[in-house]
Chain A
């Protein structure tokens, strides 16, 4: 049983070393927007609750192993035949049932929260950005502003953003961890991801789903800025960038990696998004006017 103590100690020691290894906050637990905040809160709740369960199981296990090991007992001890006990079995079914009911309530609430316009931003008109992936790039189209970017996206802080996701190839997953969890982008339909940034700042985003050879570098930069800065940037793009043409866009779609680039106009004009919209139950209804 010395072994067990040693294991426990080394386990605690190891956890300490591992946690010390990451000085900064883990990305997912360092949210910068309401959706990511909700997911981080859920995660912390789960870590606490689940940690409690693991500790309970380990404690019972250690108790049993200490108390009932053969070396502690007389040679002629015969363990009894025990079928079970109604109270014990009720408790060991009942407590998990209660935990699962509690988590189900949290889970359902969170689902509706992350699938809707971010909390606190309901009264604002969301900015619609089409984010489409091609091997292995991200194209961001701003129909409202009439501009398009590759591999980076600027968004106004303090305003809800509605990302319309689809793909020009394999299934990809659009993910900006500090603003909120991911969603798939597929070639035959458009999915919607609601995000918002509480403050100006810079984040990273990536395709999290395996989509072939270039997956690892299928990344993009995200910058949240004040509304004023955002408007200035839009004006600047209109003054300096070239328009996107069908020819140019076809070139961009070629498999490979590209740096960042900026265009006026959007590819949606000559290469529209898949018409099949995957409705998020009731939530999508309100925003259908944006298409």
Chain B
């Protein structure tokens, strides 16, 4: 691991850069962060990344901001969280204050909307690719309950539009029950 100062700087520049490209909602920054911090820098592993997304989901506020805070905190404590969050917030802050006066011009611009439409496909591909990697590493454990949770959470989220926080709470509950049953079994053996 590099020195603390270097991590802080890298955290700031990474979240700034990633946040500049989070078109299409919070999960885009999660996907980009996974590429950057897990695959490229190896600062966190894939399971930790999923844990951090769960934490980001359970906290109020935007997922992109929460994700930056959690990753920053994990890597470098409170200072890390601070530099990551400033990095994540600055791009939208700068862009919005810059176009706040001329927003009607931007809103009706055909080239801008074409750019955005095209990027949607790219964003979808980035998320699809990261989801595939994450799902594959979950499946490797060959745990039936995990697969059931995956399918159940997808249906709850996508088909039945259940609140994300509720899904997290229910899955946490399943986790507690799973642990208790596991321990009882161990004791009986």
Asked if chains A and B come from one complex, the reply is no
Residues of A within 8 A of B (CB): none
